[in-house]
């Protein structure tokens, strides 16, 4: 498939949806005199101004750095804990309900506790993001490991794979699709928790996209411009990172239907 055809098939429908939304938005904004709904052009001008003076660029950079650190820690902690729970039934039955409870609880509800421990600092924001993401990684690791067909494990042992070799060559590859689904879910939780934490913890050292949203309540075009950046980053990470990883995994398993 040519690159042009691939781009048309993959990007055409989303761009058409965005274009339709902008048209509807422009029509509604033109029919109302409320300042609560600026036109797309006003938001575009606010976005250009924020990028030109560096406000949005610096805030987005700091937020992405916090996200990378928080998500990285969540992957390490969640994968290690999940693998341990998958291998030990007593630990799984004892600890898994606590992890489920932490996943169910809104991560932003932990922010007051984080503020008590760390104060109104960047560490509180990062703590909330980690707490919001690692339970999904843990539960996905447990589930994906336990869903590996026993027949594959027996076949691996018959072929001489034992110990680490068994995990490296059989269990890990078989568990990868479910594990990647957990990472995608965890990324969404981390992104939302991080922005909520930034929105509330408004300190000079914790400047980010969340702080821009908090400070722009009286400037609706700037508020919508910052929100658009948040959405674009979220969609880009989901598509360019997790979407492409999912495509590669399915391609290696012969699950892609090229047309």
| Confidence band of 212 (pLDDT split at 50, 70, 90) | confident
pLDDT at 70: 92
pLDDT tens profile 7-65: 566 667 777 787 888 888 888 888 887 777 888 888 899 888 888 888 888 888 888 99
Cβ burial, residue 60 (10 Å; 0-12/13-18/19+): buried
Q: Mean per-residue pLDDT for 245-256?
A: 72
More confident residue, 158 or 57: 57
What's the distance, CA 133 to chain centroid? 8
The residue with tokens 């498939």 is 1
More confident residue, 161 or 23: 23
Does residue 6 surpass a pLDDT of 70?
Answer: no
Please enumerate in sequence order all residues whose Cβ is within 8 A of that of 71, keeping only pairs 6 or more positions apart, or say none.
129, 133, 186, 187, 190
Cα angle 88, 135, 89; round to 5:
10
pLDDT at 72: 93
Q: Mean per-residue pLDDT for 212-236?
A: 85
Domain locations in the chain as residue ranges: 41-252
Does residue 258 surpass a pLDDT of 60?
Answer: no
Report DSSP state, residue 206. Answer: G
Does residue 205 surpass a pLDDT of 60?
Answer: no
Domain 41-252 has CATH 3.30.420.10: no
CA distance linking residue 108 with residue 114, whole number of Å: 10
pLDDT tens profile 58-108: 888 888 999 999 999 999 999 999 988 888 889 888 899 999 988 888 888
Tokens of 196: 């909520």
Report DSSP state, residue 54. Answer: T
Q: Mean per-residue pLDDT for 147-158?
A: 79
pLDDT at 255: 62
Q: Mean per-residue pLDDT for 234-252?
A: 79
Report DSSP state, residue 108. Answer: G
Chain-wide mean pLDDT for the chain?
82
CA distance linking residue 66 with residue 106, whole number of Å: 19
Does residue 158 surpass a pLDDT of 50?
Answer: yes
Quote the longest CA-to-CA distance of the chain: 74
Nearest Cα to Cα of residue 84 among 107, 187, 76: 76
pLDDT tens profile 183-199: 888 898 899 888 888 88
More confident residue, 123 or 217: 123
pLDDT at 164: 74
3-state SS class at 153 = helix
Tokens of 111: 């922010």
Tokens of 102: 């932490």
pLDDT at 74: 93
Cβ burial, residue 107 (10 Å; 0-12/13-18/19+): buried
Tokens of 161: 């794979």
CA distance linking residue 210 with residue 202, whole number of Å: 8
CA distance linking residue 98 with residue 90, whole number of Å: 13
**What are phi and psi for residue 32, nearest 5 degrees?**
-120, 150
């Amino acid at each position: 498939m040519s690159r042009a055809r691939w781009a048309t098939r993959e990007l055409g429908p989303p761009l058409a949806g965005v274009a339709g939304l902008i048209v509807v938005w422009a029509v509604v904004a033109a029919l109302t005199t409320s300042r609560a709904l600026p036109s797309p052009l006003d938001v575009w001008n606010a976005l250009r101004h924020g990028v030109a003076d560096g406000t949005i660029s610096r805030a987005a950079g700091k937020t992405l750095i916090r996200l990378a650190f928080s998500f990285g820690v969540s992957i390490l902690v969640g994968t290690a804990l999940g693998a341990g729970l998958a291998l030990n039934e007593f630990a799984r039955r004892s600890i898994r309900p606590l992890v489920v409870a932490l996943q169910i609880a809104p991560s932003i509800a932990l922010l007051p506790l984080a503020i008590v421990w760390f104060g109104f600092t960047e560490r509180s924001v990062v703590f909330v993001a980690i707490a919001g993401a690692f339970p999904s990684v843990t539960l996905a690791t447990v589930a994906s490991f336990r869903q590996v067909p026993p027949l594959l494990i027996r076949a691996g042992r018959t072929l001489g794979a034992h110990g680490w070799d068994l995990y490296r060559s059989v269990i890990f590859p078989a568990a990868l699709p479910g594990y990647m689904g957990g990472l995608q879910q965890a990324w969404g939780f981390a992104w939302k928790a991080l922005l909520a934490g930034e929105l509330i913890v408004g300190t000079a050292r914790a400047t980010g996209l969340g702080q821009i949203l908090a400070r722009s309540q009286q400037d609706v075009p700037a508020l919508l411009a910052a929100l658009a950046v948040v959405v674009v980053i979220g969609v880009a990470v989901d598509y360019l990172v997790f979407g492409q990883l999912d495509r590669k995994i399915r391609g290696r398993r012969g699950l892609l239907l090229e047309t």
